Amino acid sequence: VPDRGRADCDAVVVGAGFAGLYMLYRLRQLGLTARGFEAGSGVGGTWYWNRYPGARCDVESLQYSYSFSDELQQDWEWTERYPAQAEILRYIEHAAERFDLKRDIRFETRVTAATFDEAAKLWHVETDKGDRVSARFCIMATGALSAAKRPEMPGLEEFGGRWYHTGSWPHEPVDFTGQRVAVIGTGSSGIQTIPVVAKQAAHLTVFQRTPNFSIPAWNEPLAPEKQAAWKANYAEHRARARDTRSGILYEYSQRGTFDVEEPERQAEYERRWGRGGANYTHAFNDIFVRPEANEAAADYVRTRIRAIVRNPEVAEALVPKDHPIGTKRICVDTDYYDSFNRDNVSLVDVRRTPIERVTREGLRTTERDYPFDSIIFATGYDAVTGALDRIAIRGRGGEALRDKWRDGPKTYLGIMIAGFPNFFIITGPGSPSVLTNVVVAIEQHVGFVADCLAHLQSHGIATIEAEPEAEENWVAHVNEVADRTLFPVANSWYMGANVPGKPRVFLPYVGGFGNYTRICEEVVRDNYRGFRVG
């Protein structure tokens, strides 16, 4: 890379979760200087903030981890099939210590603005602590599910009890023993926290807007022999995972739903249910593309819900009917549906009786007042674009990213944006990351960026940016592959549909992680096709 000139460092990295930490590691390997900024007081990103009771990853431990260091993957011992939040956080802290990454990071500091200076070819980055740092490269490792969505309901400031959002949970453990508690939202976070809070609370009221599909995790301690066997072939497992649609070693069926007779089909759903997790939606290869195939897979889950929940009225309210299975992120739970068999748990359907407001004592629906000591908002995120939207980002000609993305985000490969030179996004819109094992996607994206910087360095190139035409083509391709699936049917956060006023576009790339990686590799081989250097 040419002389750093007036820059304070080569690169600013925003965020110190899985993505930011690995980016810092790669930058150091390239001999580049970096400054990291992180809003939290420690590393971990999503896993730093999501400390709610029951928080757990829905990808298995042995897969949801870094692969870049064989020593790390061999040394680290996971204790459960699916890792709980505290264990993942310990793991990320371990990685940060092991590779001595914290010395590059300024904690408790939120980046507020990033402006491209065309004359100097530098990014000027500002923080809420008054830092002003200039760097040649600005890398956003800000996360796809990090901008918690404030519930759109009036009166919160009047509430006399305590309230929480699952995505910004306090550090000190919260004990709901003896309390009247509300949980609003039944996505992955709500579905994980409800069974745990139910065991503590005097009474738990669940406010549900859309019932979701959930598959049991069947979480269990990870047997040492199983872990050792997996580690003996770690590199091979990782390579196979990277070649799949989602970066996860599920059992991807090669059969269509109606290629097999009804009894065999049911047996396959049952077997998948018994194995647990999101593997279920890969029972047949047409579940995400063929409505009748999806309906058959959904129906099996509906039957299970009706069998678990004893009160038929409650069961019916919990049965998802308005979106194809998997088109809202499928949930993976421990005792979720069974929680509604407890005497101290009740369900309120807010489609029937919407929440009007928060009151001093609790919540008011169109039907009645509910008193609560605590309210838990499990209401999700301004996903994929939210964290970027909250920073004032300006590219060439002072163009604001918020303006450029007013009608929906546009990127090339989910990584770069036309008019924003030397500005990289990890897990951005147009990347497959939120449909994958995000750690696998992060390693690929960070690797792409690091290789790109090495390329600039070795060729003495000052700037790189996406060609507008390549960006248009990528956006068109992202939409085209989404339209071949059932995903756009659902009012999901993948579609931006959970945030009032957000443009309705399919945010991630659904063409498959393996295919995406191959496209990126071709682009590089083709001398960074679709990128302009200066």
Minimum CB distance to ligand NA7 smaller for 470 or for 495: 495
Q: How far is CA 95 from CA 18, 78, 99, 252, in A?
A: 9, 14, 6, 31
- Radius of gyration (Cα) for the chain, nearest Å? 23
Kindly tell me which of 34 and 194 has the beta carbon lying closer to ligand NA7: 194
Binding track over 140-169 against ligand NA7, x by CB under 6 A? -----x-----xx-------------x---
Question: Structure tokens of 360?
Answer: 């001093």
Beta strands in 392-436 (DSSP E): 392-394, 423-425
Q: Does 436 sit near ligand NA7 (CB under 6 A)?
A: no
Q: How far apart are CA 105 and CA 43, in angstroms?
A: 9
Q: Is 136 in the site for ligand NA7 (CB under 6 A)?
A: no
If one asks whether residue 193 binds ligand NA7 (CB under 6 A), the answer comes out as no
Closest-by-Cβ residue to ligand NA7 is: 187
Of 15-23, 204-212, 215-223, 481-489, the segment contacting ligand NA7 by CB under 6 A is: 204-212
Largest CA-CA distance found in the chain, in angstroms, rounded: 70
Among 350, 454, 462, 524, binds ligand NA7 (CB under 6 A): 350
Please, which residue, 138 or 486, has the CB nearer to ligand NA7? 486
Name the burial class of residue 8, with classes exposed (0-12), middle (13-18) and buried (19+) by CB atoms within 10 angstroms of its CB: middle
Q: Is 188 in the site for ligand NA7 (CB under 6 A)?
A: yes
Q: Applying CB under 6 A, which of residues 379, 433, 444, 485 lies at the interface with ligand NA7?
A: 379
Q: Cβ(102)–Cβ(443) under 8 Å? A: no
**Three-class SS state of 149:** coil
Question: Is residue 498 a contact point for ligand NA7 (CB under 6 A)?
Answer: yes
Percent of residues in the chain assigned helix, strand, coil, to nearest 5: 35, 20, 45
Among residues 5, 14, 7, the alpha carbon closest in space to that of 393 is found at 14
Closest by CA to 453, choosing from 469, 440, 466, 464, is: 464
Q: Which of residues 67, 109, 186, 294 is near ligand NA7 by CB under 6 A? A: 186
* Residue choice 35, 136, 209, 265 for contact with ligand NA7 (CB under 6 A): 209
Applying CB under 6 A, which of residues 99, 493, 506, 513 lies at the interface with ligand NA7?
A: 493
Closer residue to ligand NA7, CB minimum distance, 122 or 315: 315
Subset of 272-331 contacting ligand NA7 (CB under 6 A):
329
In whole angstroms, what is the distance from residue 441 CA to residue 453 CA? Answer: 18
- Beta pairing class for 423-425 and 214-216: unpaired
Binding residue for ligand NA7 (CB under 6 A) from 15, 185, 277, 320?
A: 185
Which stretch in 17-25, 27-35, 341-349, 378-386 sits in contact with ligand NA7 by CB under 6 A? 378-386
- Residue 214 binding ligand NA7, by CB under 6 A: no
| Closest separation in Å from C-beta 354 to ligand NA7 | 8
Degrees to nearest 5, angle at CA 500 with 438 and 384:
15
